[in-house]
Chain A
Amino acid sequence: MTRRLSRETMIKWAPLLVLIALVIFFTALNPTFFSLRNFARIAIAAAPALMVAVGVTFIIVMGSIDLSMEGTVSLTAVSFAFIFAQLGGSLAGLGWIAIPLVLVIGGVIGLLNGLVHVKLKIPSFMASLAMGFVGTGAAILLTGGDIVKVSDATFRGLLTVRWLGFPLMVYVAAFFLFVGWFIQTHTTLGRNFYAVGGGEDLAHASGLNVTRVRVTGFALAGVFYAIAAMLVVARIGQAESVTGANFMFVSITSVVVGGVALWGGIGGVWNALVGVLIVNVIDNGMVVIGLPDFLQDGVLGLLVILAVVLSTDRKMVSFVK
């Protein structure tokens, strides 16, 4: 059977085409955009956002939404900085233990998030939004509003050590992206996300434990937020209660721009990757072509809408609530 270029395939690939078009556009305006140095800059900026986006992708595929990422990232970042310091403040020493511990903390926050949503039957957007504020509050409580420095050279190596021009943190993010892809396509959990997102009643009638799938999904997202938090700390060398700021808008727009359907069941981590790159290329490209600061946010917002317009098949979406 020969493959024809149908509208469906076009839509599937539209986000990627948008990304390529953007790269060509910015390169045309300023050729220095198309350089390894600049790509590394984009990758560094995108790595933590990608982790958050992968986490929230699972939730959106389930047909829910998670808005707790800002609080979770702040709290796990601050926790990491404190635990790391307590354990000697060096990755070469006992400090490495902080990493698995913080992953567990992220998972537990996500778990709580999921339990509040499922057990108390609070809509996921409300439950997670509230939990996010709790997270931010807890982070302020821990730090007292101060900044906690993490200056261990080994840990900062994630940023400073480069391989083929890209710092290690980019490879870490790529690795966990791959883990996300594996969970999505090769595990029962990943399949369950799609089943719940595609038809919750049916998933229930097929004997799936929908409650457990949802709670596990939120916990998994929490773990990815914790990874993001550590990458941010590695990048800027400090943690504070606003470390997670701005991740909500960036990650959710990325996921949607990348082509994950907000009503669940469609899309996956590759869409998240493309989406995150689109948003970061726009961000970076505007700096490169020299647009003033105050214009960037506005233009980013408009371009995001444009990207969604280009990538969504509005014929399929009869009604948007």
Chain B
Amino acid sequence: MYELKAVDKKFPGVHALKSINFHIKRGEIVGLVGENGAGKSTLMKVIYGAYQPDGGQILINGAGVRFSNPRQAMEKGIGMVFQEQSLIPNLTVMENIFLGYERQFVRFGIVDWKAMAAAAKAQLAKVKLDIDPATVTSKLSFVQRQLVELAKVLTLEERVKGDLVILLDEPTSVLSKDEVQLLFKLVRELTTRASFIFVSHRMDEVMELSDRIYVMKDGEVVDVVERGGATAEAIQHKMVGRNVDKQYYREHLQTPFDRSKVLVEMTGVGLPGRIQDISFKVHAGEVLCLVGTEGSGREAILRTIYGMLTPVTGRLKIKGRDANGYSPRQSVASGVGYVPRERKIEGIVAGMNVYENMTLSQMKNHSSSGVLRVGEERALAREWIRKLSIKAHSEFADCGNLSGGNQQKVVLAKWRSGGSDIMLLDHPTRGLDIGAKEDVYDMVRAMSAAGVGIVLVADTLEEAIGLSHTIIVVKDGRMQKEFACEPGAKPTPFDLLHYMI
């Protein structure tokens, strides 16, 4: 019913979509997988009207259509549920649901709130969400907001003649297991009303939910897999173009660390309301992983080491020197590098190019009395682009246009090239695909072998266990238990969970 024929899209320097053929039947759930930079986001943007294809055709029920903006696509029944939620937090649920389509409730210039509330209630019933439509959106939980977003898209049903296609972009990335199941159940029930395109990094979820899976690589559809038509490994192989290494977390590269050299030492550090009585040492070459639930205090510990938070009680020492009350600038000067979770906000400056981003934290090394040696900076950037095989056309490429994995590499290169030997990694693999994740794991091992002390907050328990020498479980701001993680004698996720919850 909805079809793409030989759709092509080019950006300066990148052939993002190469002659894509894609179709979706009524009531079908189609999965879309691929590495970062494979062209998934571009394809989705073409589907919901944010991009216009350079070549090829978009067909709905056999008739060619062309959208110049998402609103036109919506009028043809194509809706998008965004990964980064698009609801306006200071408006109420019903205002959000009917945002831009309030006219139906307006009588003589006045909004009939009762009618809108009733209509919103009906939409919310579709997604089985029982909340007051007059609730301010910011008060909802994450999963509730996700459902409101879905309800908002489902209003297309009343507005549009014909079939609906709904895109779900990474809808599960921040949901708990139960919430994911709830969402899946709902999506399956809603197939009576709409077709779904489901994009996710979690292979097991895509395989569970989708009737068919489109596998993308380098801007092409490399395979279409029917339900049960292939194993997860086979699909991953097609996505990456190689087998996923059995030694996924590079455990065979894990070497013992240098116990004689302490880089960071915390003794009884506390911040009221956040962490209490935290004591540990990070040694040269050690990967120390902080494990805990969201809000358990892992972040606060990282940010304390980085100097963004100042310990109220206890002592923080960096390389033997008292670091209480350091500012980030002083921490950076003593060799600390920080890879934040919010890459777009704290990791790279979009609009600045690769070499400018790389030397941002270490301009002192490449300047004399405030005058930059640009040639040297560019040489450095070229060297690291090669070392980490960063996909950028040159050191002049705008970092904002790189894929997530490549942005992360630029962030890591920024700190490593500056000689940072204490690395704080906050979810370094979040939102990355398998190939890019493996690159990050390789970099972690390489840094560890070079004697860098690493404090890691991992994305998953498996990742934490696989990568670390030492695991510290944090709960409610207190240290619960320390695990040694020698290769071959690592704790299981179950061991850790026991102390986390």
Contact = CB atoms under 8 A, between A and B. Distances in A.
B360 A203 contact: yes
A266 B353 CA distance: 12
Contact of B349 (A6, A187, A202): A202
A202 B347 CA distance: 6
A198 B352 contact: yes
Given A198-B352, A202-B345, A4 B370 contact: no
A188 B367 contact: yes
Nearest to A205: B346
Contacts of A298: none
Given A207-B329, A207-B331, A188 B372 contact: yes
A84 interface: no
A293 interface: no
B333 interface: yes
Interface string B337-354: 010100001111111100
Contacts of B346: 199, 201-202, 205
Contact of B374 (A186, A202, A209, A265): A186
Interface residues of A, number: 26
Contacts of A266: 351
B352 A187 contact: no
Interface stretch (A15-23, A50-58, A113-121, A189-197): A189-197
A1 interface: yes
Contacts of A209: 327, 329
B350 A186 contact: no
B356 to A, nearest CB: 6
Interface string B177-190: 00000000000000
B414 to A, nearest CB: 8
B224 to A, nearest CB: 33
Given A186-B371, A198-B351, A199-B350, A206 B361 contact: yes
A195 B360 contact: yes
Nearest to A207: B332
Contact of B328 (A6, A189, A207): A207
B308 to A, nearest CB: 8
Interface string A165-205: 00000000000000000000111110110110011011111
Nearest to A202: B346
A8 B372 contact: no
Contacts of B347: 202
Nearest to B332: A207
A216 B78 CA distance: 50
Interface string B312-337: 00000000000000011101110000
B363 interface: yes
B488 interface: no
Nearest to B348: A202
B13 interface: yes
12 contacts: A4-B12, A187-B371, A191-B356, A194-B351, A194-B352, A194-B356, A198-B349, A205-B346, A206-B328, A209-B329, A265-B349, A266-B351
Interface of B: 12-13, 306, 308, 327-329, 331-333, 338, 340, 345-352, 356, 359-361, 363-364, 367, 370-372, 374, 393, 414
Nearest 6 pairs between A and B by C-beta?
A207-B332, A198-B349, A206-B361, A188-B363, A205-B346, A207-B329
